[in-house]
A and B are shown apart, each in its own frame.
Chain A
Amino acid sequence: AQTVTQSQPEMSVQEAETVTLSCTYDTSESNYYLFWYKQPPSRQMILVIRQEAYKQQNATENRFSVNFQKAAKSFSLKISDSQLGDTAMYFCALAFGNTGKLIFGQGTTLQVKP
C-alpha cells in the first residue's frame, strides 16, 4: 500500500524567516512522483513544486525547495523568506503509474506571522 505521512499538523513562522515542512512516504513502486500542494483559505489547490523520483537533484521553484531523500523516503518542503501569502494548508502527495492517482498526506497548516 502507498502511504503519505505529514507529522506536523500545525506550524508557524515569522515573516521573512525560513520554515521546513516534513513528509514521509511509503511505496513499493520504482517510478513515482512527489508533489507539494498549497490550499489557502479559498480552498483552491495550488501546485507548489514537484519531484520525479528518478531525479537525484532536488527541485526548486523560487522561494520553495525540497529535500528529497529517496532511501529514507522523505520529502520535505523548505519555504525561504516566508510571506504572509504563504499562510495555507500544505499537502504532500505521491503519484505513480499510468493513472496518475494522487495519495495525499493529512496536511500541515502553516501560519506566517507579521
Chain B
Amino acid sequence: SQTIHQWPATLVQPVGSPLSLECTVEGTSNPNLYWYRQAAGRGLQLLFYSVGIGQISSEVPQNLSASRPQDRQFILSSKKLLLSDSGFYLCAWSVLGMGSTDTQYFGPGTRLTVL
C-alpha cells in the first residue's frame, strides 16, 4: 500500500532563516506530487506541483521554491523565511490515468511558525 511521509511535523523558525520541508511517498512509482499551504481556518492553496523528476510548476508567486530530486521525494524550501510563510503545509500525491485526473492523498502535514 502507498504511504506518504512529511517531516518535520512541527517547526518554529526565526524570520530570515532558511527552510527545508521534505515529503516522500512509498509504494508507488512516478506519482504527481503537490505542495499546499493552509492558513488558520482556511482552505488549501496549491503552491507547487510536479509531474516528474526535476519538473516543477509554481502556482503563486512567493518566497518559496520546490524541488524533486528523486521520483518519490518532494522538497519545499526557502532561503529567507518571512512572517507570512507561517502556516500548515501539506504534501499530496496522485497517480493519473490516461488523460484523466485522479484522487490526491495527503500527508500528515508540517506546522510552520515563523517568529
Which residues of A approach B to under 8 Å, CB–CB? 31-33, 35, 37, 42-47, 50, 91, 95-107
Contact = CB atoms under 8 A, between A and B. Distances in A.
A25 B42 CA distance: 17
Given A45-B106, A95-B104, A100 B42 contact: no
Contact of A99 (B44, B51, B92, B108): B51
A101 B88 CA distance: 18
Interface of B: 32, 34, 36, 38, 41-46, 49, 51, 57, 59, 88, 90, 92, 94, 96, 99-106, 108-109, 111
A97 B57 CA distance: 14
Given A43-B109, A101-B49, A96 B43 contact: no
Select the residue from A42, A102, A103 with max chain B CB neighbours within 10 A. A102
26 contacts: A33-B101, A37-B106, A43-B38, A43-B109, A45-B90, A45-B106, A47-B103, A91-B43, A91-B44, A95-B104, A96-B101, A97-B101, A98-B99, A99-B32, A100-B32, A100-B94, A100-B101, A100-B104, A101-B34, A101-B46, A101-B49, A102-B36, A102-B104, A104-B45, A106-B42, A107-B41
Contacts of A107: 41-43
Nearest to B95: A100
